[in-house]
Amino acid sequence: MDKGLISVNPDTLETGMEGVYAGGDVTNPAGSVIHAIAVGRRGASSIDRALGGDGWIDEVLFEQEDPDPHMGREEGFAGKPRESVPERDVKERVSGFEEVAFGYDGEQAVREAKRCLQCDLRLFMGCNPKPPEKLLPFNRESISRVPAAEGVFRFYDEGRNVLDIKGTPDIRQELQEKMEAGFSAVWFDFEEHRMYSRRESERIQQHIQEHGEMPGSGDGDLDDLF
């Protein structure tokens, strides 16, 4: 014993008594869980060698096959929000020590589990795809679903290059006017924002910082800005 702890061989974890091994907090000051796991594996390997083995303790219980890359499609998958955990009302929490979070019910658990992309599947991808862009085709049907609200919209060409960025007090009306005027665009997206003029300026500045040119200019010449 050393200061109340069991003395062991640091390499084999064998104690002064032959055939007896020890590890963990009884041999060293308390450590983390991962340290305890490492010591346990070292001790198991030493015991295996003492019993005539080679000290190899890893065991393959089954051969893992490559995951199925075809997970199917589900509309809006990338935008699914995290399920909120049901919780006890705030007024009830202060009156006792009942559990605050109830946990998911069965349906919530299934919905949350379906948000998983099967983490190891990414290891088999040539590159990890970005979430799909929420672009709408520039046509009357898409415009009819746009709110008549303040905000900013962006036009894109076929290659999804930004053609124009515009803030307006009525997104739907402005888009309809652009459609009737024959504006040449393939896609568009929009963002509701009460401070639409400021948001328009922010969007344009962001575009210039990323691309070095005004939306739709294509020549990289910014002299007209100064």
Same domain, 47 and 100: no
pLDDT computed for residue 96 by the predictor: 85
DSSP 13-70: -B-SSTT-B--GGGTSS---HHHHHHHHHHHHHHHHHHTTS-S------SPPPPPPS-
In a domain, 68, yes or no: no
In a domain, 41, yes or no: yes
Nearest by Cα to 191 from 161, 160, 150, 156: 150
Residue 65 domain-assigned (yes or no):
no
Please indicate, yes or no, whether residues 141 and 221 belong to a single structural domain of this protein: yes
pLDDT of residue 25: 82
The answer on 120 and 140 residing in a single domain is: no
Q: Give the DSSP letter string of 141-156.
A: HHHHTS-SSSEEEEEE
Residues 84 and 46 in one domain: no
**In 10 A of CB 56, how many CB atoms?**
9
Task: Please tell me the total count of domains within the chain.
Answer: 3
pLDDT of residue 119: 67
Give residue 157's pLDDT. Answer: 92
- In a domain, residue 94? The reply is yes
| CATH code, 196 | 3.40.1440.10
In this structure, are 210 and 177 located in the same domain? yes
Q: What is the pLDDT of residue 144?
A: 92
Flag whether 88 is in a domain. Answer: yes
Instruction: Confirm whether 201 is domain-assigned.
Output: yes
User: Could you tell me if 5 and 31 lie in one domain?
Assistant: yes
Q: For residue 127, what pLDDT is reported?
A: 67
Q: What is the pLDDT of residue 36?
A: 84
Do 155 and 216 lie in one domain? The reply is: yes
Query: What's residue 188's pLDDT?
Result: 95
pLDDT along the chain (226 residues), means of 10: 78 89 81 84 91 87 74 75 88 87 91 78 66 81 92 93 95 95 94 94 92 73 42
Q: What pLDDT is stored for residue 138 in this prediction?
A: 95
The answer to whether position 69 is within a domain reads no
- Together in a domain, 206 and 155: yes
pLDDT at 93: 87
Whether residues 120 and 142 share a domain: the answer is no
C-alpha to C-alpha distance for 51 and 41, rounded to whole angstroms: 15
Contact at 8 Å (CB) between 11 and 43? no
Residue 71 belongs to some domain of the structure: no
Q: Residue 64: which of 112, 116, 124, 115 has the closest Cα?
A: 124
- Examine the domain organization and report whether 15 and 36 are in the same domain: yes
CA distances from 127 to 47, 123, 124 (A): 45, 9, 9
Domain boundaries, position 4 = 1-56
Calculate ∠ Cα 25-56-18, nearest 5°. 55
> What is the C-alpha to C-alpha distance for residues 89 and 95, in angstroms, rounded to an integer?
11
Q: Could you give the strand order of the β-sheet that contains 187-192, starting from the edge strand earlier in sequence?
A: 136-137, 187-192, 151-156, 162-168
Phi/psi at 109 (5° precision) = -60, -40
User: Can you give the pLDDT at residue 171?
Assistant: 95
Q: What confidence score (pLDDT) does residue 30 get?
A: 66
The torsion region of residue 4 among left (phi > 0), alpha (psi -120 to 50) and beta comes to left
| Domain match, 105 and 158 both | no
